[in-house]
Structure 1
Amino acid sequence: MDLPGLLTDPATLAGLSHDEAEWAPTGTPIAAYRPQSTADVQRAVEECAKHGIPIVPRGAGTGLSGGANAVDGCLVLDLSRMNRVVEIDTDNLLAVVQPGVVNDDLKKAVAAHELWYPPDPASSPWSTIGGNVATNAGGLCCLKYGVTRDYVLGLEVVMGGPVEYGTAVRLGRRTTKGVAGYDLTSLMVGSEGTLGVITEITLRLRPAPNAQSTVVGAFPDLVTAGHAVALCTRRGLQPAALELIDRACLQAVEDWKHLGIEPDTEAMLLARAETQADAEGLAAAFTDAGAAWTEQSTDSAEAEALFAARRLTYPALERLGPLLTEDVCVPRSKIPVMLARIEEIGARHGVKIATIAHAGDGNLHPLLITPPGDDQAREAAQAAFEEIITAALEVGGTVTGEHGVGLLKRDGMERELGPEVSAVQQAVKQALDPLGLFNPTKVVRLPAHA
């Protein structure tokens, strides 16, 4: 390939060949490339199309589904150096960024203008906006303020298919409303790099949020905490965030970071309320559902310590051994049932499962922990992982709320969607990427003859 600065060192390629998904298969790329502009991406796509080389885009590699894993003979397109905030438009409440901008860095940049970008996955200190768009990431605030898709107004994408491979097209708009043609922008959000390479993103912003108070509820078990979430929904309460953390998660964070949190209960709910009435309503719902104790706090340092524990859960548990992370989402009324199913599945397979959740929207993250080097434990964890997917589907849920399909959830997605919808997805992939170059084997499994 005629590309300047190709990376071919085996150690470098190994580090760029996978995301954080435990046990997702990883291929061997022929090279990696770090573009710094849309023109660089166009040239890379043109060269790959000329030589029939697959393209695997990646950002920070924080994904948990194998969506950024290399396939044999591919070019890994590392977009992390395309990290410029191009524009902050305070009059129209929007920002234009390159895909390698880190989520928290964008938040800081717009906060200087008293603006806010709400999507905040737990990986926000490291994950990139491009990766967030690729998986339609959510986060702690999505309960009230929505997920990444709700903030993407427009995209620049290097595509193939109906246009010549390497053509940069602009999708979407800068206006708050617009219905000209099919919503191709939303099609790209969550497509995990399988339909093209995103090179620029136009995002909706909001005014900086009001001060928030924190409501904490401690519960004797996970199922009771689940009933509290369902009760909040029935009462029409809408906190800015409603997060669940179990004892194993709190203990792991405390052992690692010593934040001074006493994990003396089996489950904890953390809520952010924007009014005193909301805070009182949440506290009452927690108490009525069976909380051992409930507290309200307006101390920002204390509140941030609690939410810091939530964000640190994954890396804290990762220190204990290989971690297989689930990402099912169920109707909020089914949260107690689903939590009970998760506990039963873990006990039956002998797998230690720690659970965190964006409980307010039913997005559960059971974290399956295995001892290093224990093949039998790995197989048990993988079996439990698949059973949790089945349980989620049985209660009317979905196989992934925000982490994406990647490699780990393809079978589950096909079961969820059925053959007809799967065929529609395959048709879209074949129309927009007839050569099958963009992130092949991820999300959509094309027929063998394609």
Structure 2
Amino acid sequence: MSTDVVSLLRAALGDRVDTSPAALDEARSDKSGHAASAPPLAVVHAASVADVQAVMRIATRTATPVVTRGAGTGLAGGANAGGGEIALSVRGMNRILEVRADDLLAVVEPGIINAELNDALAAHGLWWAPDPASRAISTVGGNIATGAGGLLCAKYGVVRDAVLGVDLVLADGRLLSLGHRSVKGVTGLDLTSLVIGSKGILGVVVGATLKLRRVVPGEIVTIAATFPDVRAAATASAAVTASGVQPAIMELMDAACLAAVHALLDLETPAPGVAQLTIQTDGPAAAVEAATISEVLQAAGGTVRVAADAAEGEQLLAIRRAMHPAMETLGTCLIEDVSVPRSALPAMFDAIGRIERDYGIVIPTVAHAGDGNLHPNFVFDGATASGAAEVPEHIWEAADALFHAALDLGGTLTGEHGIGVLKRRWLADELGDDQWELQRQIARVFDPAGILNPGKVFAP
């Protein structure tokens, strides 16, 4: 049967069907450190909407599962393609189809890289606000599929706030155009918002109408403040939020994260226990806001450094952006993604400290402190010969304790990475059984046969 599927794909799509061992192996994994246990049947490199429709028609006819992939930079195993599945890559669909500066919108294909889009928009005096740490390597389609956030979202919103519409190919190959080009639009149910963050289980995003912003006038001021421990840094970040000043970026790195990044970048080793807040203000009032924030940080016990210029500011921010590469030097990571109310950040770091002591582990943690989104990293030696990571049971037990701590504080299991395969067993803990079942039924309306990204989000 698998041979028949590949033959049908080749007949329809020719050399865009790739069965080379290297391509199949790459499609098994993402940046989470986890991989499917077996390679997919084939990787299809779609070049057009028609290519995607052809793949989905063949998949429906043969009841073959399909996993849509972009750049493979996800952190939840959500785009890992396994045995008996087709890996449908839309990375090659990377054109900017339209830019309307007067309407502050752009129409793009899903495979365009986030940072490359903004490089092109800069010529028009525009930008697309979502700013994941992976912006230099992640695609807009992947940002939409995961409902990505990033460093700037506390001030400028997440992907959901920056998409007006999507073009979606359903499991049976039909093409839908969802959303609108106008600022307002409430006709019918908001299916665009439903698709954003749906992890490829409702359809294949083949185009997006994006809501743009004009480039922010004025300067950017960057602040780095160190604190004797992570709780003090978290308390300071909450004080900044309570002050009423809205920084564009406010990132917190605990001592383990900061030490790993300094080692990676060959910087001076921080003092034991020291945590760091990195903050940027922007716009015409950036200098005044930075001065106010500096006073708040100093009052909270921080040692404050204000960058002398934009170049030094980028050097300070580069320390934060190097977090994921630094974690990779420590071992295999279970990279988590809980969010809590911003005022609960100190309590959440207290909980992480308790879990570290209870389980005898270190959990390096970075947080988008401006919006309460934490990324605890459970580091372990879990690589196998097949490339699939085997998470030790005590790590899962520690993660379970962390997830429930976040929920108890009024938080959520995931702020931006998504459920994927890594957290599906906890989904009903947050949603409750009735909502879990309702969401599963909604997915079946879009994909009655269950061939789109099966086994992701909703546990079998």
Task: Name which of 223, 248, 261 aligns with 1:253.
Answer: 261
Residue of structure 1 equivalent to 2:351: 341
On the 8 A contact 1:153/1:174 being kept in 2, the answer is yes
1:222 maps to 230
Q: Which residue of 1 aligns with 2:306?
A: 296
| Correspondence list, 1:144-155, <5 A | 144-155=155-166
Bigger mean CA deviation after superposition, 387-396 or 18-27: 18-27
Q: Which moved more, 1:373-382 or 1:146-155?
A: 373-382
- CA distance 1:376–1:435, change in 2 (3 Å): closer
Does the CA-based 8 Å contact 1:26-1:71 persist in structure 2?
yes
Q: 1:377, CA displacement in angstroms?
A: 8.2
Counting only pairs closer than 5 Å after superposition, residues 275-286 of structure 1 correspond to structure 2 as 275-286=286-297
Name the amino acid aligned to 1:387: A
> Counterparts of 1:10-29 in structure 2 under 5 Å?
10-23=21-34, 25-29=36-40
Comparing 204-213 with 142-151, greater Cα deviation is found at: 204-213
Q: What amino acid sits opposite 1:304 in the alignment? A: E
Question: In 1, are the aligned partners of 2:64 and 2:86 still within 8 Å (CA)?
Answer: yes
User: Hey, what's the Cα distance between the residues in 2 that align with 1:15 and 1:241?
Assistant: 33
1:367: Cα distance to partner?
A: 1.3
Distance 1:62 1:382 in 2: 22
Letter in 1 for 2:435: V
Residues of 2 paired with 1:174 and 1:120: CA distance?
22
2:369 alignment partner, one of 353, 359, 374: 359
| TM-score normalised according to structure 2 size | 0.92
Aligned match of 1:168 in 170, 175, 183?
A: 175
Identity of aligned residues (%): 44
Q: Which moved more, 1:375-384 or 1:185-194?
A: 375-384
In 2, the alpha carbon distance for the partners of 1:314 and 1:381 equals 19
SS in 2 for 1:435: coil
Q: Which residue of 175, 186, 195 maps to 1:188? A: 195
Amino acid aligned to 2:161: D
Pair 1:43 & 2:50 matched: no
Q: Which residue of 2 aligns with 1:419?
A: 433
Worse-matched range after superposition: 208-217 or 96-105: 208-217
- Check conservation: 2:27, 2:40, Cα contact below 8 A: no
Cα offsets for 1:298-338 (capped at 9, x unmatched) = 41111101111111110122022111111000011110010
Separation in structure 2 between the aligned mates of residue 76 and residue 206 of structure 1, nearest angstrom: 34
* 1:125 partnered with 2:136: yes
Q: What is the distance in 2 between the residues matched to 1:60 and 1:355?
A: 25
Aligned counterparts of 1:372 and 1:12: Cα–Cα separation in 2: 23
SS at match of 1:29: coil
- Of residues 170-179 and 374-383 in structure 1, the stretch that sits farther from structure 2 once superposed is 374-383
Give the CA deviation at 1:23: 4.0
1:244 corresponds to: 252
Per-residue Cα deviation, 1:89-140 (whole angstroms, up to 9, x for no partner): 1111111111110111011010121111110111111010000000110000
Matches of 1:323 and 1:284, distance apart in 2: 36
Post-superposition offset of 1:262: 5.6
Q: Give the number of equivalent residue pairs.
A: 440
Indicate yes or no: 2:319 matched with 1:309.
yes
Alignment match, 1:263: 270
Pick aligned residue for 2:453 from 439, 442, 447: 439
Question: Which residue of the other structure, out of 179, 199, 206, is the alignment partner of 2:206?
Answer: 199
SS in 2 for 1:60: coil
Q: CA deviation at 1:27?
A: 4.2
Structure 2 residue identity aligned to 1:179: V
Any conservation in 2 of the 1:84–1:97 contact (CA below 8 Å)? yes
Partner Cα distance (2:36, 2:317) in 1:
33
| Superposed CA offset, 1:249-301 (max 9, x none) | 2332232233x46634610101111222311221122122222x112224111
SS in 1 for 2:78: coil
For residue 239 of structure 2, what is the aligned residue in structure 1?
231
Distance in 2 (alpha carbons) for counterparts of 1:257 and 1:220: 22
Q: Does 1:63 align with 2:74?
A: yes
Residue segments in structure 2 that go unaligned for 5+ positions in a row: none
C-alpha distance in structure 1 between counterparts of 2:35 and 2:245, whole Å: 39
SS of structure 1 residue aligned to 2:67: strand
Higher alpha-carbon deviation: 323-332 or 264-273? 264-273
Q: 2:422 aligns with which of 382, 389, 408?
A: 408
- Code of the residue aligned with 1:32 in structure 2: it is V
Matched letter for residue 59 of structure 1: G
Please give the TM-score of this superposition, normalised by the length of structure 1: 0.94
Asked whether the 8 Å contact 1:253–1:309 carries over to 2, the reply is yes
1:195 CA drift (Å): 0.2
